[in-house]
């Protein structure tokens, strides 16, 4: 985008809500910035797109998104760096993943130019909504879905891309507790676990609610075939530290290829901490805990960044994990946050500065 010009028509809010928001208290995903971007795909082409006040949109009740979950989304963050600029963290990864989701749902690709121009101009319009680095980040949520109003089970021919943003603080205020679910699975071979489909999330809510009833934050998901191997936790990728080595399940089709997962693996290599991508069974965890070598467990995602786990429920026992200040999770969190907020050199070229 050339500074001062706009690719899209912009309808601005009359009165910004910015001043009424407490930026020191930003529960995740509850406060929306003033504007959003909307573009439709119809008759084989994308509309120009527009920036308009954030608010309800019109959609037929028979739209494919509502009837058959023809819908995918992304989530990524922008941080304020010391120059005062806005730095978006690895948005190319999200754009590519959104298009893999689109392919899985037979939706047309979102062109690179449309995605990045929309993101840049929306962030420019709502630049006052970017929190200071110590307050949090601006979470960017592209949502892409089918709007054809017919009941045939087919993707349809009309689609909508909406990009909204919200200032967010931390996702969890403290360490978390998780329990393994044997009853429910999140994904299975041939399914959609490696794509960011809206429909992957709805079926997880019952399992999470049951875990919460038992006093845990969420569940640990096992593989859908043998129900022996750990795949993810809650809405995050999962990492363990076993006897000094970090272990995370490999991307074999059922696990979401998280951007922070990828970043964490790279940063662990930078920090000289050994990391293996391999399957981890519940039995291995039980044995490692008994032998005193299950040193850490943490979740890793965009919303929560790195979330240390303090308690892990297996079927018949709870494992308590020590939370040391010099833990791998904390070192990783500091490294990731430092790069995102521009206090540590962006040695991998991960930031898009605006």
Contact between 193 and ligand COI per CB under 6 A = no
What tokens were used for 352?
Answer: 């898009």
Task: Note whether 295 and 242 are within 8 A (CB).
Answer: yes
Distance CA 289, CA 139 (A): 36
How many residues sit in the footprint of ligand COI (CB under 6 A)?
A: 6
Binding mask 100-139 for ligand COI (x = CB under 6 A): ----------------------------------------
* Of 133 and 304, CB closest to ligand COI: 304
Q: Which of residues 71-90 bind ligand COI (CB under 6 A)?
A: 75
What tokens were used for 291?
Answer: 């032998």
Q: Which of residues 279-318 bind ligand COI (CB under 6 A)?
A: 301-304
* Of 64 and 196, CB closest to ligand COI: 196
Contact between 235 and ligand COI per CB under 6 A = yes
Secondary structure of 155-167 as H, E, C letters: CCCCEEEEEEEEE
* Of 116 and 172, CB closest to ligand COI: 172
Which DSSP string corresponds to 285-339?
A: HHHHHHTT-EEEEEEEETTTEEEEEEEEE-SS-EEE----TT-HHHHHHHHHHHH
The H or E element containing residue 245 is strand 245-248
How far is C-alpha 63 from the chain's CA centre?
25
Q: How far is the CB of 8 from ligand COI (least distance, A)?
A: 26
Q: Which of residues 316-345 bind ligand COI (CB under 6 A)?
A: none
* Of 118 and 305, CB closest to ligand COI: 305
Q: How far is the CB of 258 from ligand COI (least distance, A)?
A: 6
* Of 158 and 198, CB closest to ligand COI: 198
* Of 72 and 75, CB closest to ligand COI: 75
Distance CA 337, CA 297 (A): 19
Task: Note whether 204 and 264 are within 8 A (CB).
Answer: no
Residues 6+ apart with CB under 8 A from 349: none
Q: How far is the CB of 73 from ligand COI (least distance, A)?
A: 8
Q: How far is the CB of 293 from ligand COI (least distance, A)?
A: 28
Binding site for ligand COI (CB under 6 A): 75, 235, 301-304
């Amino acid at each position: 985008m050339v500074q001062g010009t706009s690719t899209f028509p912009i309808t601005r809010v009359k009165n910004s809500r910015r001043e009424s928001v407490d930026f020191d208290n930003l529960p995740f995903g509850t406060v929306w910035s003033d504007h959003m971007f909307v573009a439709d795909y119809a008759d084989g082409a994308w509309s120009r797109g527009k920036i308009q006040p954030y608010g309800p949109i019109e959609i037929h009740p028979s739209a494919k998104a509502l009837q058959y979950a023809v819908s995918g989304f992304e989530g990524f963050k922008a941080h304020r760096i010391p120059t005062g600029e806005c730095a978006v963290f690895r948005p190319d990864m999200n754009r590519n993943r959104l298009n893999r989701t689109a392919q899985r749902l037979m939706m047309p690709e979102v062109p690179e130019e449309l995605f990045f121009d929309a993101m840049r101009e929306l962030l420019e319009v709502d630049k006052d909504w970017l929190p200071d680095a110590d307050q949090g980040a601006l979470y960017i949520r592209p949502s892409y879905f089918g709007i054809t109003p017919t009941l045939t089970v087919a993707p349809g021919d009309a689609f909508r891309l909406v990009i909204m943003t919200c200032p967010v603080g931390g996702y969890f205020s403290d360490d978390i507790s998780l329990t393994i679910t044997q009853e429910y699975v999140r994904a299975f071979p041939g399914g959609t676990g490696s794509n960011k489909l809206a429909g992957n999330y709805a079926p997880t809510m019952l399992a999470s609610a049951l875990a919460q009833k038992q006093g845990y934050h969420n569940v640990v998901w096992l593989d859908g075939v043998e129900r022996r191997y750990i795949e993810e936790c809650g809405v995050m990728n999962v990492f363990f530290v076993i006897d000094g080595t970090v272990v995370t399940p490999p991307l074999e089709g059922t696990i979401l290829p998280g951007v922070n997962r990828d970043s964490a693996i790279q940063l662990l290599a930078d920090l000289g901490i050994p990391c293996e991508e391999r399957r981890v069974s519940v039995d291995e965890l039980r044995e490692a805990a008994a032998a005193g070598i299950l040193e850490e467990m943490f979740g890793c995602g965009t919303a929560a960044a790195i979330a240390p786990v303090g308690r892990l429920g297996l079927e018949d026992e709870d494992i308590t994990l020590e939370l040391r200040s010099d833990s791998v999770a904390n070192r990783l969190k500091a490294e990731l946050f430092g790069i995102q907020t521009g206090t540590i050199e962006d040695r991998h070229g991960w930031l898009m500065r605006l």
